[in-house]
Copies of this chain bind each other. A is one copy, B any other.
Amino acid sequence: MAEHLFLKACRREPVERTPMWMMRQAGRYMHEYRAIRKKVSFLELCKTPELACEVTMQPINEFGFDAAILFCDILVPLESMGLQVDFTPAPVLPNPVRDRAGVMALKIPDPEQEMPYVFEAIRKIRTALDNRVPLIGFAGAPFTMATYAVEGGGSKSYEKTKSLLFSDPETGHELLDRLARVTAVYLEAQVAAGAQCVQLFDSWAGILSPGDFSEFALRHANSAIEMLKDSATYKESPVPVIYFANGCAPYLQRLRESKADVLGVDWKIDLSTAWDALGDKYALQGNLDPTCLFMPEDALRARVKEVLDGAGNRPGHIFNLGHGILPSTDRERVRFLVNTVKELSAR
């Protein structure tokens, strides 16, 4: 049986056309998704394998993406570490971690024990996919998880997180280290359950100076990836690892130290510039501005061509948005996008 386009591109093998998927492809822009969310809360949806499987499959069945991605939330493992997480709908952690005692109280959970619904969802999705396209698992990267744990939710300036890291780096690194260990075992369990690729989301890495990015974000993302790659599960079923540091343009030289196989690229940099700076070691995933989906078709088509031209003839391009699709996007533009990428990238 032929290998999946997406997995071949992750390994920088030649492909007959560029594979594509979209961050948040299972989401509110689809009426099928909104119909389910009318019946259950976001967290219930994450924790009900049948429903998580159903929404994961919706965009695959409707638009023909080249990969599925597990429906879940990056904050789920924080609960299993002992932190309460509410969605209001924005995430709120009423008891954030602000000091050494709080960090030392964080548990390293047994994922299968504490989050069985995640792995059950993965098994169900694999069955539903029936090998049509591969399934991507995911986790938040340690730094991004730390921002939620410390701020107690989202933030504009991330001053509490940076205060902790800057005023007590020892405690800060202990927090990031625990998060890296949880990330590693969590991803390992996802691979054991059937994930064929995993993506680490470092959504807030872009708030750091280049030196702080290396010390607080990249270092601990790498440590999670190394622990995963050292695991027995991974050695038996090696899967590509994607690292998506949102806002990566300032850190390209530093990202050459990434232990990932694929790097996600947001839209605030031209793909060709990123590729030139990163060298030939990595596959790259990206990087259309999600708001381009509000363009008329002709203009959108020109933007798709720009992204594909930026990748040029280099092996290892996976087409994606530079960030998650916006809920107000017209689904017919999504269909147009998928078809356009497939058409324009055909070799």
Q: Which residues from chain A sit less than 8 Å from chain B, CB to CB?
A: 157-159, 162-163, 166-167, 206-212, 247, 249-250, 267-270, 273, 289-292, 294-296, 299, 306, 326, 328
Contact = CB atoms under 8 A, between A and B. Distances in A.
A295 B167 contact: yes
Given A157-B290, A159-B291, A326-B159, A206 B268 contact: yes
A329 to B, nearest CB: 9
B294 A268 contact: no
A299 B167 CA distance: 8
Contacts of A159: 291, 294, 326, 328
A212 B295 CA distance: 13
Contact of A166 (B207, B211, B291): B291
A223 B210 CA distance: 32
A152 B114 CA distance: 44
Contacts of A162: 289, 291, 294
A207 B249 CA distance: 12
Given A250-B269, A268-B247, A268-B250, A294 B163 contact: yes
Given A212-B289, A249-B249, 9 more contacts: A163-B291, A167-B296, A209-B267, A209-B270, A210-B268, A211-B270, A247-B247, A247-B268, A250-B250
Nearest to A322: B209
Contacts of A299: 166-167
A306 B211 CA distance: 11
Going nearest first, the 8 A-B pairs with the smallest beta carbon separation are A249-B250, A162-B291, A163-B294, A166-B295, A250-B268, A250-B269, A209-B267, A249-B249
**This protein's copies in its complex:** 2
Nearest to A206: B268
A144 B250 CA distance: 21
A90 to B, nearest CB: 11
A247 B267 CA distance: 13
14 contacts: A157-B291, A162-B289, A166-B292, A206-B268, A207-B268, A209-B267, A209-B268, A209-B270, A210-B273, A211-B270, A247-B247, A249-B249, A250-B268, A250-B269
A147 to B, nearest CB: 12
Most buried by B among A267, A268, A306: A268
A308 to B, nearest CB: 15
Contacts of A207: 268
A88 B210 CA distance: 35
B212 A294 contact: no
A96 B268 CA distance: 26
Contact of A210 (B163, B250, B270, B295): B270
A143 to B, nearest CB: 14
A289 B270 CA distance: 26
A336 to B, nearest CB: 14
A210 B266 CA distance: 11
Nearest to A210: B270
A211 B251 CA distance: 20
A65 to B, nearest CB: 21
Contact of A208 (B167, B268, B273): B268
A120 B81 CA distance: 58
